[in-house]
Structure 1
Amino acid sequence: MKNTATIGIAALLAGAAGGYLAGKAGAPATDTTESAAKAALETKTSRSGGSASANAEAKRGARSIADVMKEPGQLARMQALMELYSGMDAAQLEAEAGKLDGMPMAQRLMASFLLFGRWGEVDPKGALAFANTMGFQGAFVRPTVLQSWASVDPENAAKYFSENPREFAAMGFGPGRGGPGGDSGASVIASEWAKLDPEAALAWANGLTGRDKSAALNSVIAEMATKDPNKAAQVASTLTGDDQARAYSEIASKWSSTDFAAAEAWIATLPAESRDRAMASALQTLALTDPEGAASKVASLPEGRDRDRAIEDVAGPWARKDPAAAAAWVSQQQTEDIDDAIRPVMSSWASTDPTAALKWIEALPQGELKDESTATYIWSNRTGDPASSVSLAETIEDEGTRNRTLWMTYSGWMREDRDAATSAVQSSTTLSDEAKERLLNDRGGQGGPGGRWGRGR
């Protein structure tokens, strides 16, 4: 049941409810997802305390999804669902699938993931046949079935995928296309196959063509890199162009998570056209555990896209640890994407210490950094009063940023206290007459600024 647990919990904790609605549910399972599955079990056990045996007995007695959904705690319900489905055969799983439509949406999404994940292991063709009767909803479960199938029988999963491309084309999951989570079917199969037999997975990937081949090779190499980065590097050296650069980047990311010094030494041997991209990926991984150390190495990258990306990747994790230090560091960087770099920093800071964040903003000179910091502060600060937020938004120099921020602020104010917001809109000397009319008439707050929204500065 290990694969089903990993797929279901990983996707749900990532917010990817409903298959590929909004997350990388088709992505390769990682140590993080394994830990999530373990955490679910440990959470349930520790919560039960001295009554663990009694609770376990009660769970074993649960024979319906209705019983499972009475469990307190979301992680406990996930574990109970996995226990419920793990003992079912294909016919029982089909019967349970028929009950999903009568469930509330949130429960249905959770159960669908786990049910079809299990069904994909024991009877994938039956699961896919049922998915084909589900209309539009079937597009959300087919990728889950495919991944589960590939996790236990990748060769036949690959054969079926190649022979039935249209079955997975919905939601952009067909051959040669990336799904909403960013992966193609070939990529998912290759990743699962590489966990079981990397050499066979590599041979299959090399037999593909076009974008399927590129995606599959990259997934195989990425999986190899988690166990033997030197072997992965040897395989990547046989590739060319962007395929090779992308593979080197994947290896750098995986290798740096276990031995940054070794990864850094290897990166230094790469061709110049691949080196900076690989280093940026390594720094992204290093920043998760040592953001200050990663920041100190950003300066080694030449100015350009890879360095800009590294600045953003370091700033976010650092902000969760020390937003003031991260903000100070970002403000000293020369980057074309200062807005992307400061947003995660200010979002964290405004949520945890809005007073300190605002004081820092007020000390900044006028310019893009201050504008973006101010806008993000207003979006992220949930404790400030609307009138103060409006006044702060009016200090933003860039017209587009100012208008978007004012629109958001006034719209939120309208939902909280329409009378007070209406009075503020009517008396504003910043808003144009058109903007006032749109705000006062747009009760849903969905109209957006548009047009000549403000009077200018």
Structure 2
Amino acid sequence: MKPSFPLTLAASVIACGGAFIAGRASAPKDGSDIKEASASIPERSSRASSGSDLASSRSVKSLRSHEDTGLGESPAAVAEMKRIMETVDPLARAQAWLDFVNTLDPDQFESVVADFRDSGLTRENMSEYSMLLTAWAKTDPLQALDYAKANTGSPFARNTILATWVTSDPEAAIAWANENHDGDRANPYLVGVIRGLAQYDPTRASELMLTMPYSRERGDALGAIIPHVLSQGDDAAKNWASSIEDERLRDGAIQRVSEQLAKDDPRGTAEWLASSGGDAAKGAIDEVMGIWAREDSSAAIAHFESMASGELRTNALRGLSSHMASENPREAASFLDAHAADADDGTYRQFVWRSFREEPAIAADYISRIENEREQEQMYRRTLEGWMRNDLEGASQWLSSAQLPDSVAKHLESRMREIGERDR
């Protein structure tokens, strides 16, 4: 008897494609599964599909067609898979793939997945790979996990399988994750469990996250929960983030939540951070002010002017001046001069980086305001060497009248000679 595990076309294709792009930043730099690991694709809740889906005429017709042509044989299934993947029309390919995975027998998945992987995991086929793993997880999650552990070098496959399994049997998925992890380090299997659980029970997902020590895995788990917490409303998200007992985790949650809330309500988010206090608010306010300035610079500046002196105001200045430096370095420089009492080394570092492309001379003038001597020297070397490579004449003119630390001046003189000789 063939199990029923139809997938919803729109939800699967759109969610898989979008999440893959969003997750690329976490990809490892080596290993055969680099493309696979770069995807972070949230799975559907088990509520998103029902047995009635399989009764659709298209699925039934596809099922019968495959059975009549002997697709029960794994070689035939592999051949059909390759035929579908050669389809040029993305919508036609997605629908054909959906029909295909819905008609695979349990004993076909391993050979089909293996052949799919052998053909190469790419940015273009990650949606199909995710659907294939999801269907396998609904059929036999233990077999799918055994395969993933033995044959994949990144967490993507096992996270996809666990995120699917936990929607239908949470206790079994959680038990497997705990039983298969050894050592005191963060349990990597819990990331997939939390990702799936967060879709329908973010409270339970949060409880599991709190059992994890500080780690990249805990950060991944936090990132998986936040979208579902935000879907419950701004106040719920704020209360959730503020109530986390682990200080370091709470700071991370507040920062990530505030970045999302600021897109729709920067004023309310800035006020929430001010009332929250603590390191999280201080660390997040610069990003919030930068987002606000992009939407309404005048309102953001007015709010900054109303803030009391202190670290929160200083960090708010960093966010504002950083945005302004990207738009108009001269205006940003004037703004910084008017609020020099609130600026710190971080403020000037950000200003230099943001303004250097458009106004290298102005940016270079402000490096001297960085009080930390080591950071100041590093900034001089990194920015001025880049300037010399791109515009040796302009950099030389600025250097001719600049008052630099001796070690920096000697280093740059040497680099200038090298660049000059190279360009002859």
Provide the residue aligned with 1:342 in structure 2.
351
Q: 238, 253, 257: which one pairs with 2:263?
A: 257
Amino acid at match of 1:227: Q
CA distance in 2, matches of 1:23, 1:281: 30
Provide the residue aligned with 1:360 in structure 2.
362
Provide the residue aligned with 2:245 in structure 1.
240
- CA contact 1:301–1:307 (8 Å) conserved in 2: yes
Aligned in 2, Cα 1:211/1:257: closer, same or farther, shift over 3 Å?
same
Q: 374, 386, 403: which one pairs with 1:379?
A: 386
Shift of residue 335, structure 1, vs aligned partner: 0.7
Amino acid at match of 1:5: G
- CA contact 1:283–1:310 (8 Å) conserved in 2: yes
Amino acid at match of 1:421: R
Provide the residue aligned with 1:33 in structure 2.
none
Q: 182, 186, 189: which one pairs with 1:176?
A: 186
Secondary structure class of the residue paired with 1:233: helix
Q: 90, 98, 109: which one pairs with 2:118?
A: 98
Shift of residue 228, structure 1, vs aligned partner: 1.7
Q: How does 1:183-194 map to 2 (within 5 A)?
A: 186=190, 189-194=193-198
1:309-366 alpha-carbon deviations (Å, 9 max, x no partner): 544444444444334433443455421224531243124xx2xx4xxx1453577695
- CA contact 1:225–1:232 (8 Å) conserved in 2: yes
Provide the residue aligned with 1:453 in structure 2.
none
CA distance in 1, matches of 2:212, 2:36: 26
TM-score by length of 2: 0.59
2:158 is aligned with 1:123: no
Shift of residue 393, structure 1, vs aligned partner: 6.1
- CA contact 2:241–2:250 (8 Å) conserved in 1: yes
2:409 is aligned with 1:421: no
1:182-226 alpha-carbon deviations (Å, 9 max, x no partner): xx76456435532333244245445x3544797556863564134
Q: How does 1:154-173 map to 2 (within 5 A)?
A: 154=166, 155=170, 158-165=174-181
- CA contact 2:199–2:228 (8 Å) conserved in 1: yes
Aligned in 2, Cα 1:275/1:123: closer, same or farther, shift over 3 Å?
same
Shift of residue 116, structure 1, vs aligned partner: 4.4
Q: 280, 284, 292: which one pairs with 1:286?
A: 292
Aligned in 2, Cα 1:406/1:112: closer, same or farther, shift over 3 Å?
farther
Aligned in 2, Cα 1:120/1:272: closer, same or farther, shift over 3 Å?
same
Q: 229, 232, 243: which one pairs with 1:224?
A: 229
TM-score by length of 1: 0.56
Secondary structure class of the residue paired with 2:83: coil
Aligned in 2, Cα 1:251/1:123: closer, same or farther, shift over 3 Å?
same
CA distance in 1, matches of 2:388, 2:93: 38
CA distance in 2, matches of 1:321, 1:245: 30
Provide the residue aligned with 2:17 in structure 1.
5
Amino acid at match of 1:342: F
How many residues align? The count is 344
Aligned in 2, Cα 1:277/1:393: closer, same or farther, shift over 3 Å?
same
Q: How does 1:76-95 map to 2 (within 5 A)?
A: 88-89=100-101, 90=109, 91-95=111-115
CA distance in 2, matches of 1:159, 1:152: 15
Q: How does 1:203-214 map to 2 (within 5 A)?
A: 203-205=207-209, 208-211=211-214
- CA contact 1:280–1:310 (8 Å) conserved in 2: yes
Aligned in 2, Cα 1:238/1:17: closer, same or farther, shift over 3 Å?
closer
Aligned in 2, Cα 1:21/1:294: closer, same or farther, shift over 3 Å?
farther
2:404 is aligned with 1:397: yes
Aligned in 2, Cα 1:281/1:9: closer, same or farther, shift over 3 Å?
closer
CA distance in 2, matches of 1:261, 1:164: 46
Shift of residue 5, structure 1, vs aligned partner: 1.4
- CA contact 1:252–1:278 (8 Å) conserved in 2: yes
Secondary structure class of the residue paired with 2:123: helix
CA distance in 2, matches of 1:202, 1:346: 41
2:196 is aligned with 1:195: no
- CA contact 2:23–2:40 (8 Å) conserved in 1: no
Amino acid at match of 1:6: G
Q: What is the percentage of aligned positions where both structures have the same residue?
A: 12
CA distance in 1, matches of 2:417, 2:313: 37
Secondary structure class of the residue paired with 2:264: coil
CA distance in 2, matches of 1:24, 1:285: 30
- CA contact 2:259–2:288 (8 Å) conserved in 1: yes
1:395-450 alpha-carbon deviations (Å, 9 max, x no partner): 57246666776787777x59xxxxx4187xxxxxxxxxxxxxxxxxxxxxxxxxxx
CA distance in 1, matches of 2:403, 2:412: 9
Structure 2's unaligned 5+ residue stretches are 1-11, 43-80, 102-108
Secondary structure class of the residue paired with 1:165: coil
- CA contact 2:262–2:291 (8 Å) conserved in 1: yes
Which gives a bigger RCO, structure 1 or 2 (Cα 8 Å, sep 6+)?
2
Could you say what the CA RMSD is over the residues aligned between the two structures, in angstroms?
5.0
Q: How does 1:295-314 map to 2 (within 5 A)?
A: 295-298=301-304, 300=307, 302-304=309-311, 309-314=315-320
- CA contact 1:330–1:341 (8 Å) conserved in 2: no
- CA contact 2:329–2:355 (8 Å) conserved in 1: yes
Shift of residue 97, structure 1, vs aligned partner: 0.8
Aligned in 2, Cα 1:396/1:264: closer, same or farther, shift over 3 Å?
same
Amino acid at match of 2:351: I
Provide the residue aligned with 2:331 in structure 1.
325
